[in-house]
Structure 1
Amino acid sequence: MTRLLRSLSFRLALSYAGLFCLSVALLMGAVYWLRVVVPMDRARAQVEQEERDLRALYSARGPDAVRDALDRRAQHSAGPKAFHALLAPDGTVATANLPSWPVRPPGHLTVIEADTFVDGTEIDHNALVSDQRLPDGARLMVGRDVEDVTDDAGALRTAAIWIFGVTVVLGLAGGWLMSVAIGRRIEAVTLTARQVMDGDLAGRVHVTGSNDDFDRLGEMLNLMLSRIQSLFRAVQSVSDNAAHELRTPLARLVGRLEALEQSAGDDPVLRAAAGEAIGEANRLQQILAALMRISRLENGRHPLALQRTDVIQLLDDLVEFYQPEAERRGIELVMSARRPLVADLDLDLVFQALSNLLDNALKHAGQGRRIELAAARGPGGLHVSVTDDGPGLEAGDAERVTEQFYRGRGSAGLPGDGLGLSMVAAIAHAHGAVLEFGSAAPGLRASLLFPG
């Protein structure tokens, strides 16, 4: 629900529905004002003016003149039907065509029922009446028929309820359709972006051909992606060619140094210098091979040889391989996992990733420490971890240890090129796995979570 409320398309849909409802409300308000408010104001002004004239006539000529004027008004008045009642101070009726009235004057204009009967048929009327006491205690009621106005008011109120309800439904439905349409176009861009992030630079945004804003945006993004792909291929070609060209001179260099070492004879200085140079050249070859492999893994150019793998057997092989080195360092190497535990993995790559993690743990654990290699299947997939009880990572190192050639502050004086964890991260990326580093209190826990 939170994600839906944060969605731009959903908020646009709500805005659209709100504006639609507001437009209909304004239209209904205008109709109500023209059909009800204006006629009612006109009738109110007419009744008030007639009441003032009749009060003045009563003061000047007495009740008889007013009674005659009311009778003439009822018989010959133009416009809406005229209603009246004149009551003497003692309550007797002097003249009236209102069928009934309130017991006491309300003191303001009010609408009362004024139904009449013609040939036994009841005719509905609503009268807007001014009901006032005169100075001598007489009671004067003057009104006009507003049946049409009150009927329109009732009909408009009923219509407003239905129209508003239908408007809300249609507005939300239209907004939802608009949200779906916009959401699909945005999702197409998102999917393409995710495809490119996963290493497939051939991904392109689908263009419908409507030449709308989304199509123009998609075309610009596709042009940008094409440009990025061509630049990436150019850089890739340069790096591949450079790596390829460096292999031969490095191999020749190693060969020349080995020949030099053999021809050094009994000269210990020359033999030692040649040996050191051979070691550095071999290290350079290893770094170059590792960089190329990391690049191929990160860019999706290294095809995975997935196979059904017995994870327990894989861990047994790792423990067997590193047990002599662990014993030499005085480190206890243990495995924690139970069969059955299988997964689809590139066996060679995962073996290398776990080897790098174990090698890293052996370097940093210190003598007399303990390293645990564990695996288990959880809700998120296969979880494999290497845990040591050494000093762990220093603050700020966890975010950078997978950077190429980065070495933490605790790695000073230890052998390594700063590419081991970069290789682990690249292998994890190729498998769609997640590499995490956390505190083991004390020590470090490096975890790989493989999906599926």
Structure 2
Amino acid sequence: SEASRRIMGGDLSGRLPVTGVGDEFDRLSENLNAMLARIATLNEGLKQVSDNIAHDLKTPLTRLRNRAEATLSGKQKPTDYRQALEGTIAESDQLIKTFNAILMISRLEAGYSSENMNRVDLAEAVRDVVELYEPVAEEAGVSLEADAREAVSVNGNRELIGQALSNIVDNAIKYSTGANAQPAVRVTLERTGADVRLSVADNGHGIPDDGDRARATERFVRLEKSRSQPGSGLGLSLAKAVMTFHNGRLELLPGNPGLSVVMSFPVREDH
């Protein structure tokens, strides 16, 4: 048919006709159309990643080169060389983190392997992340507390959930620092009906605008207030991809003051 010829020619926007009678040919057409839609989505994601890499990584790479060139030009003191090298290493580490985040998001969106899916104790995950970030929070003058007394487990990937929660806690500490006389971050785990909610709330400036909260989970998006903070703009994007992989939701809710980022997992009862 004309539609199949267009698809074979590379036009993935074409779809096979469905007559509506519900026979085997209709079911085959529906399955093929769903597959084509998935391929088109993955292709668009790949294009977006390529565009983002070209646009957003050009600046740090240029800065890296300029720093090295400036260090080589003229005579420098040993301390100047050391300072330049330390800056280069820090910039390189940030670039590596950015690339790793991009790769992980792409893998999750393309269908990450579910081989490592097990029962994950979310209370234990909360304790581990809070323990990891307690020194960071203390150095920043931020109170970091956790309320995860109830033993709740979900079916998931322990490493991915831990990475997503770490990104969210890191953001909360970063953006609550200096925004309040007593900056604080609280991690709460609770079961509500058919969901398990893991929320990270801070009392910083927050994101008052609904549109900005929706944009904050897009790749490389950095809102105006975050421009002065180090980062790639991928932390919440990765957290959202992790939650989508787990058939869950990532919500950004306004606080009073601050922001609450909620990871909602569906509960599957084991019998």
Match of 1:80 in 2: none
Match of 1:326 in 2: 137
Structure 1 position 412, deviation (Å): 2.4
Deviations, residues 149-181 of structure 1 (Å, cap 9, x unaligned): xxxxxxxxxxxxxxxxxxxxxxxxxxxxxxxxx
Match of 1:290 in 2: 101
Please say if 1:403 is aligned against 2:214.
no
RMSD over aligned CA atoms reads 3.9
Please say if 1:392 is aligned against 2:206.
yes
**Matched residues in 1 for 2:22 and 2:196: separation?**
46
Match of 1:363 among 165, 174, 193: 174
What percent identity do the matched residue pairs reach?
Answer: 32
Match of 1:222 in 2: 32
3-state DSSP of counterpart to 1:403: coil
The amino acid of 2:208's aligned partner reads: E
* Superposition pairs of residues 329-344 of structure 1, within 5 angstroms: 329-344=140-155
* Superposition pairs of residues 80-119 of structure 1, within 5 angstroms: none
The higher-RCO structure (CA 8 Å, 6+ apart) is 2
The amino acid of 2:163's aligned partner reads: Q
Match of 1:417 in 2: 232
Structure 1 position 274, deviation (Å): 3.4
The amino acid of 2:190's aligned partner reads: A
Contact 1:390-1:443 at 8 Å conserved across structures? yes
Structure 1 position 394, deviation (Å): 3.3
Please say if 1:441 is aligned against 2:256.
yes
Residues 211, 371 of structure 1: CA spacing in aligned structure 2 closer, same or farther, 3 A cutoff?
A: closer
Gaps of 5+ in 2: 1-11, 54-60
Structure 1 position 275, deviation (Å): 3.2
Number of positions where the alignment pairs a residue of Structure 1 with one of Structure 2: 232
* Superposition pairs of residues 186-205 of structure 1, within 5 angstroms: none
Please say if 1:376 is aligned against 2:190.
yes
Match of 1:300 in 2: 111
Contact 2:16-2:33 at 8 Å conserved across structures? no
Contact 2:42-2:110 at 8 Å conserved across structures? no
Contact 1:205-1:218 at 8 Å conserved across structures? no
The amino acid of 1:446's aligned partner reads: V
Residues 340, 223 of structure 1: CA spacing in aligned structure 2 closer, same or farther, 3 A cutoff?
A: closer
Gaps of 5+ in 1: 1-200, 244-249
**Matched residues in 2 for 1:450 and 1:281: separation?**
35
Structure 1 position 309, deviation (Å): 2.3
The amino acid of 2:165's aligned partner reads: L
Contact 2:164-2:239 at 8 Å conserved across structures? yes
Structure 1 position 288, deviation (Å): 1.3
- TM-score under structure 2 normalisation? 0.71
- TM-score under structure 1 normalisation? 0.44
Match of 1:426 in 2: 241
Larger radius of gyration: 1
3-state DSSP of counterpart to 1:394: coil
Deviations, residues 286-330 of structure 1 (Å, cap 9, x unaligned): 211110110111221343622222222221112211111112222
Residues 451, 405 of structure 1: CA spacing in aligned structure 2 closer, same or farther, 3 A cutoff?
A: same
Deviations, residues 125-144 of structure 1 (Å, cap 9, x unaligned): xxxxxxxxxxxxxxxxxxxx
Match of 2:164 in 1: 353
